[in-house]
Structure 1
């Protein structure tokens, strides 16, 4: 099969290797450009726990002065892997979605335990910090990166894509879905996807691309990409 992956290369290089190892053709179209945002390091000085809902939040965090034994909540396995790579030891990981992550926080951290810092990008799919505040927690949000839509695509890549449209496309976020829809419209590819299976992380993400005709739409969590191949 021909598979299109749309995350930054460092976030999907392992998956590209694995899919190629299984004999699939893999194309790579990064939809977003990730940039660091300057932030106030003092927000982390008195916190008793940290929440990460993306690996990028860890990538752009200055971690050298943070206690690596602090209780660290991660949304999924990719985020956990990144947290481990920078030295965090006390990690509690969810099953890839914010709803499960919130439940783990409620079960493993009491409001009286102290302040939580939620490290994230400018755009988030769920207002986890406000939800926890409503439940009596003290939560500060620290924004340390932003995402911009990739607007520069290689013409040669686009022409090759038109000739060999992927059987599967993986879309990982609401923002990525918006970027992919813009790409499709800008390149006049609206009618090319009727034999393509769209894999989206959550209904909110898939809703952006519902105006395009797909063979099927599947919802998935990070880490389930290979499993989905066997559902087609």
Structure 2
């Protein structure tokens, strides 16, 4: 089988290895380019924990601060792994979306335990700050990166998708799914979806994929990479 990964290039290496171990050839079509902002002054006074809602949030925070002594609440296990790789030692992972991250914070961190800093992107998937502020938390949101959509699919990927050469395509966010659909439609290659099963991290991702006539759209049991891979294993 050949599979298509739609994550940014810097996030695909480990996933590509896992696919290759399963005998699956993987191509990459980065649909978002990550622009990390530099030299941002972070309001860290009285902050005792940081909130990472993406791998890029963790990387962007670390590009702007040497602090690794803060507790980390991460949206999911992949983001938690990235935080540990950056040098954080106290890291907890939620179940993969901002609502579950807010619930984790409420369980583990009282408002009196200190302020929280959310290392956010320019585009938000849910207002985590508002969710927690409603419960009395001091949450400081700082925009540290932007994800810019691709203007076209890589030429080789577009050719192979149009020819029905992909058995599966993996989508990890509603935004990347929407960008792919738009670019495929603009290029006139949407018909290639008929030969391909779309694997979606969540129902929200699957909803963005619906305009194309996929062979099938399958949703991971939980929003984790391992559950995406489990769809392939089945």
**With structure 2 as the length reference, what TM-score do the two structures score?**
0.90
Corresponding residue number in structure 1 for 2:224: 222
Corresponding residue number in structure 2 for 1:28: 28
Corresponding residue number in structure 2 for 1:161: 161
Q: Unpaired segments of 5 or more residues in structure 2?
A: none
Greater alpha carbon shift after TM alignment, 7-16 vs 161-170? 161-170
Aligned length in residues: 230
Q: How does 1:79-90 map to 2 (within 5 A)?
A: 79-90=79-90
Q: How does 1:85-164 map to 2 (within 5 A)?
A: 85-164=85-164
Corresponding residue number in structure 2 for 1:12: 12
Greater alpha carbon shift after TM alignment, 177-186 vs 188-197? 188-197
Greater alpha carbon shift after TM alignment, 133-142 vs 205-214? 205-214
Quote how far apart the aligned CAs of 1:16 are. 0.8
Corresponding residue number in structure 2 for 1:65: 66
Partner SS, residue 23 of structure 1 = coil
Residues 79-101 of structure 1, C-alpha deviation per residue, up to 9 Å, x if partnerless? 11111111111111112222222
Q: Unpaired segments of 5 or more residues in structure 1?
A: none
Give distance in 2, aligned partners of 1:163 and 1:40: 45
Aligned-residue CA RMSD (Å): 1.8
Give distance in 2, aligned partners of 1:215 and 1:94: 32
Partner SS, residue 82 of structure 1 = helix
Corresponding residue number in structure 2 for 1:190: 190
Give distance in 2, aligned partners of 1:44 and 1:55: 20
CA 1:22 to 1:135, structure 2 compared with 1: closer, same or farther past 3 Å? same
Contact 1:51 1:74 in 2 (8 A): yes
**With structure 1 as the length reference, what TM-score do the two structures score?**
0.91
Quote how far apart the aligned CAs of 1:140 are. 0.9
Quote how far apart the aligned CAs of 1:114 are. 1.8
Corresponding residue number in structure 1 for 2:213: 213
Partner SS, residue 83 of structure 1 = helix
Contact 2:200 2:206 in 1 (8 A): yes
Residues 98-133 of structure 1, C-alpha deviation per residue, up to 9 Å, x if partnerless? 222222111100011121111111112111111111
CA 1:205 to 1:94, structure 2 compared with 1: closer, same or farther past 3 Å? same
Give distance in 1, aligned partners of 2:111 and 2:217: 39
Give distance in 2, aligned partners of 1:194 and 1:54: 31
Contact 2:200 2:228 in 1 (8 A): no
Partner SS, residue 211 of structure 2 = coil
